Amino acid sequence: MKSTTISAVLVALIGFATVPAFAQDEQPVTRAQVKAEVAALEHVGYNPAYSHGPDYPANLQVAEKKLAAKQLNGSQYGPSTDGTSASGAR
């Protein structure tokens, strides 16, 4: 009985010790930030008017992935242009 109680207390303490790891230190999102994010999602093809359709979470996630890829690429037009060209070389 005593070991069960000690085990339960240890599990509880470990659980409480990990709670601060999930705390968010971010400030609340402003209206302007939300509008900018929606505009960016619309720019990559997301339409908020269809957010209540049967494919709602999927189409938003696709748009978020496109936006993340676009931001990772750092370019709005075409793929990365890093590299060299062998045009005219013999």
Domain boundaries in the chain? 29-75
For the whole model, what pTM was predicted?
A: 0.51
pLDDT bucket at 5, cuts 50 / 70 / 90: low
Question: Is residue 2 scored above 80 in pLDDT?
Answer: no
Q: How far apart are CA 90 and CA 88, in angstroms?
A: 7
pLDDT on residue 86? 62
**Cα four-point dihedral sign 36, 38, 58, 27:** positive
Question: Is residue 33 scored above 90 in pLDDT?
Answer: yes
